[in-house]
Amino acid sequence: MMEIKVPELAESINEGTIVEWLKQEGDYVQNGEPIAELETDKINVEINSDFSGIIKQFLFMPGDTVQVGQVIAILDENENHFGNVPEPELKPESLILEKEKPNNNLVASPAARKRARELGVSLDEIPYKDPLGRIRVEDVEDYKKSHRDLTNNEPNHQPANTVTKNQSNQLKVDEKDQQIERVKMSRRRQTIANRLLEAQHNAAMLTTFNEVDMTAIMDVRNRRKESFNKKHGVKLGFMSFFTKAVIGALKEFPFLNAEIQGDEILIKKFYDIGVAVSTDDGLVVPVVRDADRLSFAGIEKEIGVLSEKARNKSLGLKDLQGGTFTITNGGIFGSLYSTPILNAPQVGILGMHKIQRRPVVIDDEDTIEVRPMMYIALSYDHRIIDGKDAVQFLVKIKELLESPEDLLLEG
């Protein structure tokens, strides 16, 4: 017999949650073949088998938490465990007897084991239909149903019409309880929840707002999008403009590109910009490294690669670690106005929102025009950033975005 253990994952990850088994007990696996998907606080990883053989037993269920180095499965190195053993011919009556006979070497699917525990049923009592003696979920359900039917057919000696008012009210409450679905939070969701709460508890977070006239950026994009795509093989989106504008503002207000450690402020002279990406499992923030050294095309390509990896659950730890400032875009979901929460230990985050055409006063001309406008929000840690600096930082971003040709010349 051989043991499959949870491998070393990363310096900061000591445990994970089994999402699903990619094989079944009784399956043959080769050395290096994935057998399980594991969810950690930051990423999902596949656990590969270190040996070739037959999966004898899974020691944990999907949803269970396992530690690095812990044994999670047992393999039988005999590759012919099931393959070349002829199945004995069984007469119908012997099949019936076999189904009723307890099995001391039970093989049950993980789902069957979990369901049996939930129903309080012993696997030894459950007759199986599989020729190989494998108990499945259906066998557990059928067994429980047959015993429930027997129980329901027993005579009821309770006197009729003795339900009290309190019992009646309790019945109504029980009916409501049946309409409530309990969903266990995934490890990723628990981590997100804890970090958001931590950010609010550990920082003096405030938010300031402004608005951007997107006319000039949209004009540049419309004029250059075809040539840009043809030259670089990527679309010219809004994120490259916002990333460049953020970097320009951070260079003037370096305390927003910092973090607090004890009684010191660490001002970072590099610009690793986190870009929030929504996935089915929640929000992740991959990092565009040294974004100040990238061109518009380089930023768009890097964001495209990271977003695709996020959606495919293939982000590595290096993709997520060490950002200095974050940009999040609630506008893709239709948000007009929001207060983004800090991505600790960072001290600043910029929120983008939906572009909406609305009437605005044109200052230089004293006229009213319909313009594509976007509200932008800056959440910041007031412990090291004064309100004046936060407001001026956001105004600088506004000015850079409303003069995009300058950004293009610089980047």
Q: Rounded to the nearest 5°, which phi and psi values hold at 188?
A: -65, -45
Confirm if 40 and 13 have CB atoms less than 8 A apart.
yes
> What burial class does residue 172 get, using C-beta atoms within 10 Å of its C-beta: 0-12 exposed, 13-18 middle, 19+ buried?
exposed
Nearest to residue 316, comparing CAs of 40, 31, 16, 70? 40
Where are the chain's structural domains? 1-85, 93-151, 201-410
Among the options 124, 147, 219, 382, which is catalytic? 382
Catalytic residue chosen out of the listed positions 50, 124, 219, 386:
386
- For the entire predicted model, the pTM comes to 0.66
- Using CA atoms, how far residue 96 sits from 92, 100, 103, 129, in Å, is 7, 7, 14, 9
- For residues 242 and 350, the answer to whether their CB atoms sit within 8 Å is yes
pLDDT tens digit string along 316-375?
Answer: 888 988 899 999 999 999 999 999 999 989 999 999 999 999 999 987 778 999 999 999
Return the HEC string of 149-213.
HHHHCCCCCCCCCCCCHHHHHHHHHHHHHCCCCCCCCCHHHHHHHHHHHHHHHHCCEEEEEEEEE
Query: What is the per-residue pLDDT for 390?
Result: 98
Respond yes or no: is residue 382 known to be catalytic: yes
Q: What is the pLDDT of residues 118-155, one digit of tens each?
A: 787 887 788 877 655 677 777 888 888 777 655 555 55
Structure confidence by residue, pLDDT tens digits, 254-285: 999 999 999 999 999 999 999 999 888 778 89
CA–CA separation, 231 vs 155, rounded Å?
A: 83
What angle do helix axes 238-252 and 387-401 make, rounded to 10 degrees? 140
| pLDDT per position as a tens digit, 18-77 | 888 998 888 998 888 889 988 887 777 888 998 898 998 999 988 888 988 999 999 987
CATH class of 93-151: few secondary structures
Domain 1-85 has CATH 2.40.50.100: yes
- Token pair recorded at residue 410: 């610089």
Bin 397: left if φ > 0, else alpha if -120 < ψ < 50, else beta: alpha
**Superfamily for 201-410?**
Chloramphenicol acetyltransferase-like domain (3.30.559.10)
